[in-house]
Amino acid sequence: MWLKGDTHLHTTASDGVLSREELLDACKKRGLDFVMVTDHNRHGVGEKSFYHKGMLVIPGEEVTQNGYGHMNIWGTGIPTMNGERPAGPEVYYDMAQKAHDAGATVSINHPFDKKFSWTVDLENFPADSYEIWNTVMHGDNMRAIDWWHGELLKGRRLPVVGGSDYHRDYAHITRLLAVPVTYVNAEENTEEAVLKAIREGRVFIANSPKSGQLMLTCGDKTIGDTVELAPDTAITLTVSKLKAGMRVEVFNNDELVYYHKAKVGAPHTAVLRDCKPGFVRAQIRYDYPALGKAIYKKAIAKIFPPDAGLPVPSFAWALTNPIWLTEKEETR
Ligand SMILES: [Zn+2]
Ligand SMILES: [Zn+2]
């Protein structure tokens, strides 16, 4: 079943403004099925997963030191930094090892963030997933998505997630909770099943809980599954909600094999055939209108002045992890 959640949240245990109760109530109100609470170098919600008004709460911790990067650890029994910042890259390896020994899951956060980028070792670090979409969509996320696409082309199966990294709402930017939202195809709504689904890439990311769903299926297979190609293999793309002007793109490896620009707001579906071995992934993109671009440029000038003059890229509204395609084994 597809469950929606937020993988990256802060409380007053670190630098968030909501208490644990306030945060969990707000997440429940947003309609989430699961959350991971990931305070900086601390456990914000204890050691074990539990349910808050029916919503699964998975304990987490964001191992944080600026200059090295930020990494989330999710799961019962995760190791803790007890409020200390990691002294060097070796601490990240040590924490990842301890997390894996405890059966927990490790994810590298906002690797291309201009201020808090990952400098430890992106290619070889023993991560289970990568947060390529952190908070409101912006240029650093698009760089992360480009990097990920390049890794997929090298044949690496890297699962990706989104995380709102919620700390607080601001006067002019509100409703940041669960932006983006991460959908996970888990067998049941338990910590074990949700984390397993993430590690297996059974995930798509959408702008918010109200953005609708972006789905790829092939018979009874879906995102994260492997399909053995046959002459009649057909992959179905389903978009539950699309606004006018948005573009749907499907990549089969380095090739854009499907493109649709919405003239009106409506659901959309398509069937893709003749795919090549490798992967298929879908995304929705959009461009800000002129006013939105001006506001974005102003925000960037404030947050990261060196980027002030850069053109505003077109942004992702939703994206899927791949369906993997293999050649049919010869039978003789
Ligand atoms: Zn962070
Ligand atoms: Zn964070």
Name the residue ranges covered by the structural domains of the chain. Answer: 1-210, 212-332
Per-residue pLDDT band at 331 (split at 50, 70, 90): low
Collect all residues with Cβ–Cβ distance below 8 Å to 222 and sequence separation of at least 6. Answer: 185, 202, 215, 216, 323
CA 228 to centroid of ligand 2, rounded, Å: 39
Q: Which protein residues have their CB within 5 A of the ion that is ligand 1?
A: 70, 109
Residue 165 Cα, ligand 1 centroid: separation in angstroms?
Answer: 7
Q: Which ligand places an atom closest to the C-alpha of 165?
A: 2
CA atoms within 13 A on the CB side of 25: 5
What is the CA(227)–ligand 2 centre distance, in A? 35
Q: Are 228 and 328 in contact (CB under 8 A)?
A: yes
Protein residues within 5 Å, CB atom, of ion ligand 2: 62, 165
pLDDT in tens, 84-122: 999 999 999 999 999 999 999 999 999 999 999 999 999
What is the model's pLDDT at position 306? 87
CATH code for residues 1-210? 3.20.20.140
Ligand with smallest separation from the Cα of 14: 2
3-state helix, strand, coil in the chain (%, to 5): 20, 35, 45
B/e letters for 44-81, b = 16+ CB within 10 Å, e = fewer, are bbeeebeebeebbbbbbbbbbbeebbbbbbbbbebbbb
| The CATH number fitting domain 212-332, selected from 2.30.30, 3.30.70, 2.60.40, 1.10.3470 | 2.60.40
**Pairwise CA distance, residues 219 & 229, whole Å:** 12
268 Cα to the center of ligand 2, angstroms: 34
- What is residue 330's DSSP assignment? P
pLDDT at residue 168 greater than cutoff 60: yes
CA–centroid distance, residue 70 to ligand 1 (Å): 5
Closest listed ligand to the CA of 11: 2
Measured in Å, residue 73 CA sits from the centre of ligand 1 at 12
Span 202-254, pLDDT tens digits: 999 999 999 999 999 999 999 999 999 999 999 999 999 999 999 999 999 99
CA distance to 54, 128, 154, 156, 251, per residue, from 151 (Å): 37, 14, 5, 6, 14
Q: How far is the CA of 271 from the centre of ligand 2 (A)?
A: 38
Give the whole-angstrom CA distance, residue 135 versus residue 132.
Answer: 10
Give the Å distance between the CA of 255 and the centre of ligand 2.
34
pTM for the model stands at 0.96
Q: How confident is the model at residue 171 (pLDDT cuts 50, 70, 90)?
A: confident
**C-alpha 74 to ligand 2 mean position (Å):** 13
